[in-house]
Chains A and B, each alone.
Chain A
Amino acid sequence: SQKIEQNSEALNIQEGKTATLTCNYTNYSPAYLQWYRQDPGRGPVFLLLIRENEKEKRKERLKVTFDTTLKQSLFHITASQPADSATYLCALVTDSWGKLQFGAGTQVVVTP
C-alpha cells in the first residue's frame, strides 16, 4: 500500500536551534514534493517545492532535501523562532494534474 509517514510526535525545540522534520514514503514515484505549514483551524500554506531531479532547495531559513533513492525528504528550519510553531505537512504529487497526497504532519513547538 502507499504510505507517507511523518514524525507523529511533536518536536519541541529551543529558540535558535535547527528543527529537522522527516517525510518518508513508500510505493510512490512523486514528480515533486511540497512542504506546507498549517496553523490550528487554518488552511495549509505553501512553503517549498522540490522536484525529483533536485537534491536541495532553500528559502530564507528553510531548507528541503529530497532523496528519491531513500524515498525521503528532510525539512529544516534554522534559527527557529516561536513564530515557527505550527504543524508542517509534506505532500507528494504523482500526476500531472497536481493531486496532493499528504502526510499526517508533524507539530513543531519552539520555546523561547
Chain B
Amino acid sequence: DVKVTQSSRYLVKRTGEKVFLECVQDMDHENMFWYRQDPGLGLRLIYFSYDVKMKEKGDIPEGYSVSREKKERFSLILESASTNQTSMYLCASSLPEVHGYTFGSGTRLTVV
C-alpha cells in the first residue's frame, strides 16, 4: 500500500560527490515537494513542482536542484554534497488543491 516511495532509507556520501535522491508516487498527483528536516527547525521546503518539467524554488534551494521528467518521479540533486547537507530528506505529493500531502518514509543522508 506504499504510495510515495523514496529509493533509499539511509545514504552515506562523501563531500563533493553529486548525489541523487529519487522519489516516485503512484497516485497520479500533480504536485510534488522536497523538504529537509532538521531537529528544532521542522520541515523546510527545498523545491516543488506543479507539473512535469516545472519546478519552483522553495525556502532553501541553495546547493540543490531538481528534475521532473515524468509525472510520477521527482528527483532531488545535490550538485556537490557538503557536510551541512547532512539531514533527513522528505518527499511528498499532493493534488492541485490544498488537500495536504502524502509523504514518503524519508532518506537520511549523511555527508562525510
Does B bind A? no
